Amino acid sequence: MSELQSQDYIRRSASTLTPPSARRHEQEVAKLIDVSRCIGCKACQSACMEWNDLRGEVGHFEGSYDNPKDLDPNTWTLMRFTEWENDKGDLEWLIRKDGCMHCEDPGCLKACPAPGAIVQYANGIVDFNSDACIGCGYCVKGCPFDIPRVSPVDHKSYKCTLCSDRVSVGLEPACVKACPTGAIMFGSKSDMTAWAGERVAELKSRGFADAGLYDPAGVGGTHVMYVLHHADRPSIYAGLPDRPAISPFVGLWKGAVKPLAVAGIALAAIAGFFHSVVAGPNEVEPEDEANGRRLLDQQDDAR
């Protein structure tokens, strides 16, 4: 979405200075997706398209309920359906609403080279400012959840905004409003964590011993959380990462390498300058010219 005068940034991509952050006493928000209450109706997907005014190309049937097959620049949230056989040999139909997790430590923002193209507000929402986006795809490499998609049309990266425009005026995200079963809830992160606790207790009482909250610590926690009946193995839910974290390659690239590289390049230039100051130029002396000339002339004479 476009940049608001929000003055409540806690992070801003490719910025070495503190972003405007005076107004940052709001509560952290979270969306809680209770997988156990989802019926797979895709109302959230439709609501997302409608509120954000997105219309993807009509695709093809890919042999599964997943439609479209994957996230794309026009699909910011996607129901992913998994037919999973549990330990007793029974079929469980696992349905997960995929989309940006709004990490507390966002890999996309860390990787982004364009100043201000990715920001994080004090409420935890990670937002793309498309005007500043240069279309490099570094956010795709930075994201531990494989969420952002770069449009081949306008070369801008897109993903769920957590309806930052709605949230900033006190509304819940569109997907939350549309959900008919209450599987998607929205509120302060503390409220959502408490509510998740009740849901997990209820699931455990129904025999889902491994039920739990997915709020992965590897990315500092997320502002989109899941209640999972099988929280011990998140990856059965269409590849939800078991232990997501920013890749160490991205960490190195955007961590130590950046300042060391700049220092190294500067040192090389400074070393050259001071060599020039200390040793001075290497100049051809008159006797060199005489010697060189004599060598050429000798050969001329020999002929």
Burial 52-63 (b: 16+ CB within 10 A, else e): beeeeeeeeeee
Please list every residue from 112 through 131 that binds another protein, using CB under 8 A: 113-115
14 binds another protein (CB under 8 A): yes
- Count CB atoms within 10 A of the CB of residue 284: 8
Report how far apart, in Å, the C-alpha atoms of 223 and of each of 2, 30, 90, 106, 220 are: 21, 4, 32, 11, 10
Q: Which is nearer to another protein, 36 or 129 (CB)?
A: 129
Residue 262 interacts with another protein (CB under 8 A): yes or no = yes
- Does 233 contact another protein by CB under 8 A? no
In the complex with another protein, the residue whose CB is nearer, 133 or 175, is 133
245 scored as a contact of another protein (CB under 8 A): no
* Whole-number Cα distances in Å, 146 to 137, 195, 271: 11, 27, 43
* Structure-block tokens of residue 186: 């929205």
Could you tell me the two tokens for 187?
Answer: 């509120």
State yes or no: residue 67 binds another protein (CB under 8 A). Answer: no
Q: Considering beta carbons, is residue 171 or 238 the nearer one to another protein?
A: 238
Nearest Cα to Cα of residue 214 among 206, 203, 178? 203
CB closer to another protein, 93 vs 273: 273
How far apart are alpha carbons 142 and 132 in whole angstroms?
Answer: 17
Q: Which stretch binds another protein (CB under 8 A): 80-88, 182-190, 227-235, 243-251?
A: 243-251
- Residue closer to another protein by CB (options 23, 155) is 155
Binding site for another protein (CB under 8 A): 14-16, 113-115, 132-138, 140-141, 146, 150, 152, 155, 247, 249-250, 252-253, 257-258, 261-262, 264-265, 268-269, 272, 275-276, 279-286, 288-293, 295-296, 298-300, 303
